[in-house]
Structure 1
Amino acid sequence: MLKKIQNHINEQFSFIKNAKLLIAISGGVDSVVLAYLCKKLGLNISLAHCNFNLRGDESDADEDFVLQLAKDWELEVFIENFDTKQFATDNKLSTQMAARTLRYLWFKELKAQLKFDYVLTAHHADDNFETFLINLSRGTGLDGLLGIPQVNGDIVRPLLPFAREDIEQFAKQQKLQWREDSSNVSTKYLRNKLRHDVIPILKEINPQLLQNFEKTQQYLNDAKSIINDRVDEIAQNIVSKAKNNSKAFSISEIQQLNNSKAYLYELLNGYGFTQWNDILALLTAQSGKQVFSKTHRLLKDRAYLILSEIISVPDESIKINESQNLVLTPFGKLSISKGATKGKAQYNTAYFDLSSLSFPLTIRKWQEGDVFYPLGMKGKKKVSKYFKDEKFSLLDKENTWLLCSGDDIIWIVGHRTDNRFKVKSNTKEILKIMLQ
């Protein structure tokens, strides 16, 4: 086993040889063997153990075991205790998902604080096959059938090709001690039911099950690679940059493709969407229709689908005092200077007659019923009508802010100033505001 893992690391994970590594260790046979192998290979490792406090004294005994193991092996160890049930309740998660979330958040924190290069976990071939079956049983696309990746960012899984049976046999040969998790016996969880009731039958039918599964995984990954190449190719004609760091997807180009839904899935996979029928319906929907994920929003805007990140912004207004010369806002920095010479008006620069302004100035989002007097025009205009005439999308409107003096709008920031506050021939002092 030592020789096999050594060859595997040389071939697939040479980048961890001189890296600072954090090993996730539960006390179970898989993580104990991983730590033992890495120690034998002379890698620079420390241990990290999560006590999720889900099994009472048994959880504390796991923690004590890991502490003693680290002492015996002369390894640095980090321990963290979690109130997993409370976290699950607060965040409306299953206990298993809560534990997973807490685990990886803590690993990320440790890695950042102590400059670890990678986190190693002890997932193995049986875990990978179980994940495949879980995803298959729930309904999944190709990504769900690819199983657990060997490398996912800074998470590395060196034992993924090895079967649980081989790992346990190696541990016994080396006379290693480990802890058994009693919750792994219960079949109330889907993973355990597959592990104890389903997979043994499949292995009995075909003793080469895991080896054949590994081949299947390779074929699926090859297919995914071909798909990615094709999607990258068509994306050049479909996807373009839009305002406010958003992306625009050409509806006409998408509609020319065979199986638009499949292409939309590949183009938008990774942004948290699940309502793929609703997304497909956006292609023929009225402008303004939207589909949301937890992190992103997809908006139908005339000939495009606009993808943007959901960013929470303060509802309250921002005040600008007369003495300020720099103001940080959700949309950028405002540089403010008095006594400036009037230059050419640009989208990001506005000039005002200082004497006409009442401080503090206010920055706020637009509201229905807002009116202003556009520079260069006679009379007033509703802001909503201005948006319509300028062909603002819903996303453009939501990202537009107003600069006000008292109740009066003096600038639709980045777009148009108000005629009432313009620099005149008798203006004594100019206020210049630049959006950076």
Structure 2
Amino acid sequence: MTKEFQQHITSNFPFLKNKKCLLTISGGIDSVVLAYLCKTANIDFALAHCNFNLRGEESDGDESFVRNLAKQLEVKLFVENFNTKAFAKDQQLSIQLAARKLRYEWFFDLAEKNNIEYICTAHHLNDSFETYLINTSRGTGIQGLTGIPEVNGKIIRPLLPFTRAQILQYAQKKQIKWREDSSNASDKYLRNKIRHHITPVLEEENENLLQNFYKTQQYLKDTANLLEDYTTLLFSKLVKEINGDYYLNVTNLKNTPNTKAVIYQLLHPFGFTAWEDVNNLLEAQSGKQVFSNTHRLIRDREVLILSKLNIQENQVIKIEEGQTHIKWDNKQILVKNVNTLEDFSQNIAYLSAQKISYPLTLRKWQAGDRFQPFGMKGKKKISDFLKDEKLSAIEKENTWVLLSNEEIAWVVGHRSDHRFKIEPNTTTIIKLTLTYEK
């Protein structure tokens, strides 16, 4: 296995030869074998061990074992102790999810503080097969069928082509010691049930089960890559981005073959799961909407508008005299004192410095807000003004106003207020420019 591992690294992870890695180690056979293999491959790595304090003396024994292993391999070791039960209770998470959240947050923090490029985990082919079965049983798209990815950002998994049997054989041949986690023998968790009762039965029927699964995985990954390329092409044709929101023309969607599959491919990265409700938007009235945890999809006339949920709906920003840059969400206002009117657009407002009072207030418009649109004699409701401007539902919701002494001086990005206009005797002109981050 030593030769196969080194060939695998050379072919698929050549960058590891010149980078520093953080190898996550529990003390179990998989991570211990990975540590020995990385040592023989001359990979520069440090070890990171989490003591979750869930198994009493057994957890402390794992930590002691890993400390001795680090000395034996002559590598740096990081150890962190967690009060996992208390964290799980506080965050209302299962013990498994709490431990996962704790360890990965710590791993990424360690990597950042120590200039470590990659985090290596010891997942192997059996783990990937178990993940495939779990995802299949719960319902999944093609990505869920490809098992555990070998590379996921900073996380790499160099043992994925190797089976648990190969790892055990290597450990026995090299007389490597490891720790047994007593919880692995329990059938409390679904993964253990699959490991103990399903995979062995399937392997009895087909001794090449995992090798064939690995080949199938490669085919599925190629198909997933092809689908991703096609989705990127469709996105460019069907989706228009305006100020950070995405607009999907309903007619174009309906005229695209395999509409439901296309909608899934376009929208599943945004966390949607209620696909029947999403598809029903194609026939819904304006105003109908569907939410994910992070985004909202709303039917607005002949388009579907995808926007990120605003968690600071009542955000209020104060602008002090002398401020030149005000940034929020994906927007920015540049403030500049000028002597003449330079250029004109909806995203630019000119106000008389003599008519405003600091601090100015920036907030979203509210029901009942009124202002005097530039060039008009009387006041008008903001809601009526935005309706006349024929803004979409999302554009209306994302409209902000700038106030001076509780009076609206500018409907940001649309119209300034006549009461703050430039007069012949104006000595200082304030120019406000709205820009959007891409």
- Seen in structure 2, the aligned counterparts of structure 1 residues 146 and 252 have a Cα distance that, compared at 3 Å, is same
Q: Is the 8 A contact 1:340 1:432 kept in 2?
A: no
- Seen in structure 2, the aligned counterparts of structure 1 residues 269 and 333 have a Cα distance that, compared at 3 Å, is closer
- Seen in structure 2, the aligned counterparts of structure 1 residues 99 and 146 have a Cα distance that, compared at 3 Å, is same
Which stretch of the first structure deviates more once superposed, 121-130 or 201-210? Answer: 201-210
Q: Is the 8 A contact 1:296 1:308 kept in 2?
A: yes
Report sequence identity in percent.
51
Which residue of structure 2 lines up, in the alignment, with residue 265 of structure 1? 264
Which residue of structure 1 lines up, in the alignment, with residue 277 of structure 2? 278
Partner of 1:207: helix, strand, or coil? Answer: coil
CA distance in 2, matches of 1:433, 1:227: 45
Q: Is the 8 A contact 1:28 1:178 kept in 2?
A: yes
How far apart are residue 387 of structure 1 and its match? Answer: 1.2
How far apart are residue 237 of structure 1 and its match? Answer: 1.8
CA distance in 2, matches of 1:212, 1:429: 76
Which residue of structure 1 lines up, in the alignment, with residue 67 of structure 2? 67
Q: 1:283-303: CA deviations, max 9, x gaps?
A: 222223222222222222222
Q: 1:56-106: CA deviations, max 9, x gaps?
A: 221121111111110111100111122222333333332212222222222
Q: Is the 8 A contact 2:339 2:427 kept in 1?
A: no
- Seen in structure 2, the aligned counterparts of structure 1 residues 407 and 212 have a Cα distance that, compared at 3 Å, is same
Aligned 1:12-411 pairs, distance under 5 A:
12-243=12-243, 245-313=244-312, 315-321=314-320, 323-331=321-329, 332-338=331-337, 340-411=339-410
Partner of 2:279: helix, strand, or coil? Answer: helix
Q: Is the 8 A contact 2:319 2:326 kept in 1?
A: no
Structure 1 residue runs without a partner (length 5+): none
Which stretch of the first structure deviates more once superposed, 3-12 or 251-260? Answer: 251-260
How far apart are residue 365 of structure 1 and its match? Answer: 1.5
Letter in 2 for 1:32: V
How far apart are residue 252 of structure 1 and its match? Answer: 1.4
CA distance in 2, matches of 1:194, 1:405: 65
Structure 2 residue runs without a partner (length 5+): none
How far apart are residue 167 of structure 1 and its match? Answer: 0.3
CA distance in 2, matches of 1:295, 1:342: 41
Q: Is the 8 A contact 1:237 1:253 kept in 2?
A: no
Q: 1:365-413: CA deviations, max 9, x gaps?
A: 2110111110022311110111111122222123221111222111011
TM-score (normalised: structure 1): 0.94
CA distance in 1, matches of 2:297, 2:267: 9
Partner of 1:26: helix, strand, or coil? Answer: coil
How far apart are residue 327 of structure 1 and its match? Answer: 4.7
Q: Is the 8 A contact 1:287 1:302 kept in 2?
A: yes
CA distance in 1, matches of 2:4, 2:228: 32
How far apart are residue 311 of structure 1 and its match? Answer: 4.2
- Seen in structure 2, the aligned counterparts of structure 1 residues 231 and 352 have a Cα distance that, compared at 3 Å, is closer
Letter in 1 for 2:140: T
TM-score (normalised: structure 2): 0.94
Partner of 1:377: helix, strand, or coil? Answer: coil
Which stretch of the first structure deviates more once superposed, 289-298 or 135-144? Answer: 289-298
- Seen in structure 2, the aligned counterparts of structure 1 residues 109 and 311 have a Cα distance that, compared at 3 Å, is farther
